[in-house]
Structure 1
Amino acid sequence: MVHKLIEWSLRNRFIVLLLSAAIFIWGILSIEKNPIDAIPDLSENQVIVFTEWMGRAPQLVENQITYPLVTNLQGLPKIKYVRAASMFGMSFIYVIFEDDVDVYWARSRVLERLSTISSTLPKGVAPQLGPDGTGVGHILWYTLDAPGIDLGEQRALQDWYVKFALQNVPGVSEIASFGGFQKEYQVTIDPNKLLYYKLSVPEVISAVRANNNESGGRKFDMSDIGYIIKTSGYLKSIKEIEDIPLKNQNGIPIKVSDIGTVQMSGETRLGIFDHNGTGEVVGGIVVMRYGENADAVIDNVKEKMKEVAKGLPKGVKFNIVYDRGHLIKESIDSVKRTLIEEMLVVSLIVIIFLFHWRSALSIIIQIPITIAASFILLNAFGISSNIMSLTGIALAIGVIVDNGIIMSENAYQHLSQRYAQWESEQKNETNSDEKN
């Protein structure tokens, strides 16, 4: 088979050269399409289910949320195993699927199952899926450099402006906010006054909720003009919360301000984010989707940041604290430089040792063609250009050159033997002619 292939190649040199050129061009196009990252994604094919039930102990969360969810999710098809963790007020479930399962098919199956078991969970508890990213999906961290603006205002700016703008970038799965205070109205109740007015905490909560609502009416037609009737009852200030009536006692309304105080404050925090010891900051984490090109996503996010920065308050700007793009470019440049140096050194050694430019040229041409063709296979198997894959290509150059040298030496040896045999036959014929 090999002899026939070699014989066919020798007889059809133009076709072989044409196929080699086509493979080389295809490989160059594959290089441009191949996703680039610094490190390979070796994370498991998983779907995260997150459930929040604040104020509850880990054991209660385990018994009433984690255990029911795990037992029901284990029946999904193509699952390897299910892991879970119960914390104070939170439950995390990691559903690990087989490696060949499409991640969005897996997410849809988990979502279908959650819709059937949510009714068995405590009232007000709603499980939700985590972002469609991987363990190495954190590609960029940034903070807001906002001198003179308090942490609560910075967090509001991040959550209600910056986050929504950056989430529209293609390839971004989530913008996870961190730091600062999430503003909220807090009602601090005096238990002695509750006892005096014969009220309970659930009654206060119910009254506040009932007065923070908006309801629609109906369309009212008058003189051929339609009027939409609606009521706006959302609470907008501390004064409005303080004036909410709780009950009527002897014709006098008992208000929230009579049993406690209302203030604007931040949600209880479990930690802070400090940058270089200069104090607390507010920012976000850019999480990349499965299978995206990390280098391209980072560049697109940076371009979007320039656009978003135009709408920020005066003096506020982005400060990038972690950028995998630098690591990607340095890693890829290092490997590319190594590949070029290796190709030059190998080519020089081949020329010096063989001392035959046609043989050396046939070996040197194999290197770029083989490297370009390898990217066709990388795209076919969904492997990105990273330190591991490019280093493997660099190590394979030695094998490519060895094969070329062995084949050239073998061909040179056989040609030498045939040439010596031909010379001997010619010499014998000459001697025979001279005798005749």
Structure 2
Amino acid sequence: MLESLIRAALKQRLVLAVVAVCLVVFGLNAARKLSVDAFPDVTNVQVQIATEARGRSPEEVERFVTVPLEMAMTGLPGLEEMRSLNKPGLSLITLVFTDATDVYFARQLVMERLIEVGGRMPQGVTPTLGPLSTGLGEVYQFTLERPDDGDKVLSVEELTQRRIAQDWVVRPLLRGIPGVAEINSQGGYAKQYQALVNPDRMRHYRVTLQDVYQALARNNANSGGGVLPHYAEQYLIRGVGLVKDLDDIRSIVLKEQDGVPVLVRDVAEVTIGHEVRYGALLKNGVTESVGGIVMMIRAGNAKEVVSRIKERVAEINAKGMLPDGLRIVPYYDRSELVNAALDTVVKVLIEGVVLVIIILFLFLGDVRSSLVVVASLILTPLITFMV
């Protein structure tokens, strides 16, 4: 049978050459669509649940948040392992599914259970799913800098403004890129409007901390009042109550005492501050900076995703989309490592092909026979890309 197959191939050389060319074309097209990365991602199918519970100790987080969530997740189809981590004000649950489980199906199952258990969570606590990424998803890291920054020390106000630009300008611009799962912000100070209450003045006006909290929440919203018809026109009635500046917060009424309103400024100092932070981003080990990490979607093509990110970053910098002359300056780019790995692979393949030609020519004394063997070496991996 093998002999007849070889004879048929020798008789139909043109047909065999056409088939080989077609396989090469389809193989090159399949190779172009391959997911290229520098590291093999062997992460199993995981779904993470992150829950923020401000002000609670790890014991309280485990008792009121983690345990109810773990009980709700038991019995999920394909669930192999469930582990949790409790920190002050934070609960992290990792669900590991079988390799045969589709990650999107697993996330859908977890989301359905989260909806069921949401009513049993403490007030103000909402569990959320982690991004659709893995530990090897960090493909691009950058800082926000001005051309004249150098290594000068940035003030708290400058770091706060740059963090605002990162969270409200850069993050939405980069998150819309296909293949990007999440943008994590680093460094700077997260801006806050703070009401620093004075216990002595609260006791004098007989106001509790709960009264201040509820008054701030109730007086920071707009309300609709319907429509008022007037001949051929209609007027939209609205109650505007959103806080615009610090004076609006200071003027919020807490209670009425002997016909005199007690305002927030009577019992608290209203100022602009920042969240308590747990780390900082240092540039060159000299000064603080603000930046971000771009997370790639699970099983994404790192080379293509980073190429899209670089194109978007170049557009943002060229058009001056960021305030105060800020620019996105990358300091880690996965594509550089991917290109270096691809160059190494291509170099080794070329060296191998040349070595095979030389060895076969020395032993066979025929260049055409050597080229036939080399053609089979090139065609075989291209065919495997199509599978």
Q: Which amino acid aligns with 2:45?
A: N
Partner of 1:29: 29
Cα separation, 1, equivalents of 2:367 and 2:187 = 65
Change (3 A) 1:250 1:314: closer
Q: Is the Cα contact below 8 Å between 2:221 and 2:242 reproduced in 1? A: yes
1:251-266 matches, within 5 Å, as: 251-266=259-274
Partner of 2:292: 284
Give the count of matched residue pairs: 377
Q: Which amino acid aligns with 2:124?
A: G
Partner of 1:152: 160
Partner of 2:338: 328
Partner of 1:420: none
Q: Per-residue deviation at 1:7? A: 4.7
Cα separation, 2, equivalents of 1:84 and 1:9 = 62
Partner of 1:395: none
Q: Per-residue deviation at 1:306? A: 2.0
Q: Is the Cα contact below 8 Å between 1:74 and 1:81 reproduced in 2? A: no
Q: Per-residue deviation at 1:356? A: 2.1
Cα separation, 2, equivalents of 1:123 and 1:66 = 15
Residue 203 of structure 2 is aligned with which of 179, 195, 202?
A: 195
Partner of 1:93: 93
Q: Per-residue deviation at 1:8? A: 4.2
Q: Is the Cα contact below 8 Å between 2:144 and 2:328 reproduced in 1? A: yes
Cα separation, 2, equivalents of 1:269 and 1:85 = 20
Residue 273 of structure 1 is aligned with which of 264, 276, 281?
A: 281
Partner of 2:257: 249
Residue 235 of structure 2 is aligned with which of 209, 220, 227?
A: 227
Matched, 1:68 2:76: no
Matched, 1:113 2:113: yes
Cα separation, 1, equivalents of 2:218 and 2:368 = 89
Secondary structure at the aligned position of 2:256 is classed as: strand
1:18-417 matches, within 5 Å, as: 18-146=18-146, 147=149, 150-309=158-317, 310-377=320-387
Secondary structure at the aligned position of 2:235 is classed as: strand
Q: Per-residue deviation at 1:252? A: 1.8
Q: Per-residue deviation at 1:34? A: 1.1
Q: Per-residue deviation at 1:314? A: 4.4
After TM superposition, the score normalised by the length of structure 1 is 0.83
Q: Per-residue deviation at 1:284? A: 1.1
Change (3 A) 1:43 1:272: same
Q: Is the Cα contact below 8 Å between 2:165 and 2:323 reproduced in 1? A: no
1:409-428 matches, within 5 Å, as: none
Q: Deviations over 1:215-269 (max 9, x none)?
A: 1110100121000000111111111111212112222222111112111011111
Q: Per-residue deviation at 1:272? A: 1.1
Q: Deviations over 1:110-131 (max 9, x none)?
A: 1111111111111221111111
Q: Which amino acid aligns with 2:286?
A: T
Secondary structure at the aligned position of 1:318 is classed as: strand
Cα separation, 1, equivalents of 2:103 and 2:11 = 49
Partner of 1:384: none
Q: Deviations over 1:16-62 (max 9, x none)?
A: 33332222221111111112111111111111111110110011111
Secondary structure at the aligned position of 1:133 is classed as: coil
Partner of 1:417: none
- Consecutive unaligned residues of structure 1, counting only runs of 5 or more, are 378-436
Cα separation, 2, equivalents of 1:344 and 1:224 = 86
Q: Is the Cα contact below 8 Å between 2:49 and 2:93 reproduced in 1? A: yes
Cα separation, 2, equivalents of 1:224 and 1:362 = 87
Secondary structure at the aligned position of 1:134 is classed as: coil
Q: Is the Cα contact below 8 Å between 2:215 and 2:252 reproduced in 1? A: yes
RMSD between aligned residues: 1.6
After TM superposition, the score normalised by the length of structure 2 is 0.93
Secondary structure at the aligned position of 1:230 is classed as: strand
- Mark the structure with the bigger radius of gyration: 1
What stretches of structure 1 move > 6 A for 4+ residues in a row? none
Cα separation, 2, equivalents of 1:211 and 1:48 = 36
Cα separation, 2, equivalents of 1:244 and 1:37 = 56
Q: Which range moves more in the overlay, 307-316 or 49-58?
A: 307-316
Q: Deviations over 1:185-236 (max 9, x none)?
A: 1111111111122111001111111111111110100121000000111111
Q: Which amino acid aligns with 2:138?
A: H
Cα separation, 1, equivalents of 2:314 and 2:368 = 54
Cα separation, 2, equivalents of 1:254 and 1:323 = 56
Cα separation, 1, equivalents of 2:324 and 2:351 = 49
Q: Is the Cα contact below 8 Å between 2:356 and 2:370 reproduced in 1? A: no
